[in-house]
Structure 1
Amino acid sequence: MIAREWKCRVPEAHAEGFTAYLYETGVRDSSATPGFLGAQIFRRPLIGKIELTLVTYWKSLDSIKAFAGEDISRARLYPEDEVYELEPDVDVQHYEVIEHGFIPGGL
């Protein structure tokens, strides 16, 4: 399994709207791609901004290419990102997942 990590920052005022937009674009498009296994979105406050991290999980690098294009190291951005004053990382990171497990129902 491969994890794909992308980060961005938005002004606090756009955090909720951009999170919904992220579901409508990146998460929806990822989940419609064969080989997609799941996603997580993390958020943390910065000074005057919110940082969001999207981690998607994939069966293979070829699955990621089907979503991201030939250069999988580049972020897939969307035309309306600038409406949210998005500060995106243009590069993404990929990791081989060597352990994954969650306790059903939490701790």
Structure 2
Amino acid sequence: MIARIWHATATPTGAEAYERHFTTAVLPELQDVAGHRGAYLLRRATGDHVELQVVTLWESLEAIKGFAGEDIDTAVVEPDARAALLTFGTTVTHHDVLAATPEH
């Protein structure tokens, strides 16, 4: 399994808007992509800003291409997401998942 990780920052209000976008637009899209194995939206308040990290799980690099296209290192950030964020990564990182707990 491969974890695809992306980060952004937002105001508290922007983070709420991004969470709505993630749950109503991104998650339904991901569920339709073959090889998608799960997703997490992480939030960390830091003073006046909020750090966001998105971790998506995939069965292979080929599966990631089904979502991101051929250039899998480029972040997929839709206009609605961009509007909610202060800053965002234009690239992502990919990590091999070496161990995980089984789903219950």
Change (3 A) 1:81 1:41: closer
1:32 is matched with: 32
Secondary structure of 1:7's counterpart equals strand
User: So what's the TM-score if we normalise by structure 1?
Assistant: 0.87
Kindly tell me the number of residue pairs found equivalent between the two proteins.
104
Distance 1:25 1:32 in 2: 12
2:4 is matched with: 4
Percent pairwise identity: 32
Whether the 8 Å contact between 1:25 and 1:78 is mirrored in structure 2 is no
Over residues 67-93 of structure 1, what are the superposed CA-to-partner deviations in whole Å (9 max), with x where a residue is unaligned? 001000010010222331441111101
Unaligned runs of 5+ in 2: none
User: So what's the TM-score if we normalise by structure 2?
Assistant: 0.89
1:66 is matched with: 66
Whether the 8 Å contact between 2:39 and 2:55 is mirrored in structure 1 is yes
**Moved >2 Å (runs of 4+):** 24-28
AA partner of residue 13 (structure 2): A
Bigger Cα displacement from structure 2, 32-41 vs 21-30: 21-30
Unaligned runs of 5+ in 1: none
Distance 1:55 1:85 in 2: 17
